[in-house]
Structure 1
């Protein structure tokens, strides 16, 4: 896809890790910061769409104040005034998960609206915290898990173990961005579901939007947007799902794509 979009872009959605923020530097490229402010000056809505939780968002304020935050892969979406979408994992599936953890333990991160915690940690958890530059969450027993309040959980398992888990739990879907863990959300969820809720609230059509991402959990979002842009550092499957592949996050790929499509000059 080349040239200016057929319809005026009214909203742009950005993944965080590997898109806005570099995995290598844990920082935002200077051209990206300038681009975010330029979008706002043009009256374009600017949103974050991430697998991270609400509790992990304050660090973004050092760079930019977004119009809304689509967190937990679209399961918890909010702006400064209200919660736009909140979708929890099926309580029956959470009870099954706890039974599995009691029988054969593995590290699992549970995320609720205002908190997250692990049952226990190992080197895989430490590695994830290092990659996303985040402190180790607190640890609690399974009796702390509230069956009807889990928005997302993150099992630290390999791909074969993932198939067994998601085959047992009937009302979930999963997405993976690293080899040693994956995100589990309610079936029918995803960043595209969060986008739909936000756009309905704002009266913006999907073909009036643009989205940037690099991970497998971004594929639905890139397909839902009018223009889906994959970062140069994205996996091949993500690039294949996009309308356009830009430069990497370290090379200022966001600003480059916005200029390519004539959104910014």
Structure 2
């Protein structure tokens, strides 16, 4: 069956390690658009984290954001599907980070924006390992004096909670504690973080709901990813493609393993499965 929708994770997948989009990937996407194939960014980021060069490509009409908590119609700037963490549960999760004896940076995503606090924003290099990631964090977060108080005051359910850890044992302890809470899904996109979504908010489910909305069969979808938060998409897509640089669990679940993110592995797999020449 022909491919009609391609969903691609961004960090570690579509983007190279410098957080740029390899030109080969862009050419492949343009060629897909010319054949009427939908290109869907599928990311843990918010709308603010989508590069303009990606949003402005022909064929990019929708985006799966915050790990599947939102599906957005980009042209209308309209949320067409959502699955959020109730305020009280989000507050409880954030308090677990705040009261922990470990050093944990924690953000909450509400209304498509990530909210952090000045002490984290100003010391982001304590929690991230690269200039590119530090810049991304700063560009995609707003600061508030107290993000838990802000969440309660706003009274709006959260799309996601993100935690960064300086110590991997602390990350392991927090994950064990979070596993005791019902109604949430815990995943990870980089080695030292945890991403908490509502149960049901995953990239795979969002992909299938969007495909159904567009009248596209599951068998005609392709999903690309490298991290744990991509697993559901890799498993549910008609063709699940893992990056060579991906987590072992993702590669084990995939139908196909392509080259690394630094080698434009997305473009290479698209050409392999569609016959597109770029």
1:98 positional shift = 4.4
The answer for the alignment partner of 1:41 in structure 2 is: 34
Question: More helix by proportion, 1 or 2?
Answer: 2
The answer for the alignment partner of 2:266 in structure 1 is: 254
* Aligned 8 A contact 2:2 2:274 in 1: no
- Indicate the larger mover: 144-153 or 13-22: 144-153
- Indicate the larger mover: 55-64 or 106-115: 55-64
1:8 positional shift = 1.3
The answer for the alignment partner of 1:3 in structure 2 is: none
The answer for the alignment partner of 1:30 in structure 2 is: 23
Does 2:222 correspond to 1:210?
A: yes
Q: How do residues 164-179 of structure 1 correspond to structure 2 at under 5 angstroms? A: 164-179=176-191
- Closer/same/farther in 2, CA of residues 165 and 31 from structure 1, 3 Å limit: same
- Indicate the larger mover: 127-136 or 197-206: 127-136
Aligned residues: 258
The answer for the alignment partner of 1:242 in structure 2 is: 254
- Closer/same/farther in 2, CA of residues 148 and 204 from structure 1, 3 Å limit: same
Uncovered stretches (5+) of structure 1, i.e. residues with no partner: 1-6
**d(CA) in 2 for partners of 1:62, 1:78:** 12
The answer for the alignment partner of 1:4 in structure 2 is: none
Scaled by the length of structure 1, what TM-score is found?
0.88
Deviations 1:206-255 (A, max 9, x none): 11111111111111101111111111111222111100011112222122
204, 209, 220: which is aligned to 1:192? Answer: 204
Q: How do residues 217-228 of structure 1 correspond to structure 2 at under 5 angstroms? A: 217-228=229-240
Scaled by the length of structure 2, what TM-score is found?
0.84
* Aligned 8 A contact 1:84 1:197 in 2: no
* Aligned 8 A contact 2:109 2:160 in 1: yes
Uncovered stretches (5+) of structure 2, i.e. residues with no partner: none
- Closer/same/farther in 2, CA of residues 36 and 138 from structure 1, 3 Å limit: same
The answer for the alignment partner of 1:145 in structure 2 is: 151
The answer for the alignment partner of 1:117 in structure 2 is: 115
1:91 positional shift = 2.6
**d(CA) in 1 for partners of 2:98, 2:248:** 37
Deviations 1:165-223 (A, max 9, x none): 31343211111122321110001221012112211210111111111111111111011
Does 2:162 correspond to 1:154?
A: yes
* Aligned 8 A contact 1:33 1:63 in 2: no
1:99 positional shift = 3.9
**d(CA) in 1 for partners of 2:226, 2:269:** 14
**d(CA) in 1 for partners of 2:197, 2:29:** 29
* Aligned 8 A contact 1:118 1:139 in 2: yes
Deviations 1:71-121 (A, max 9, x none): 000111111223211221023312322443553473211111242211441
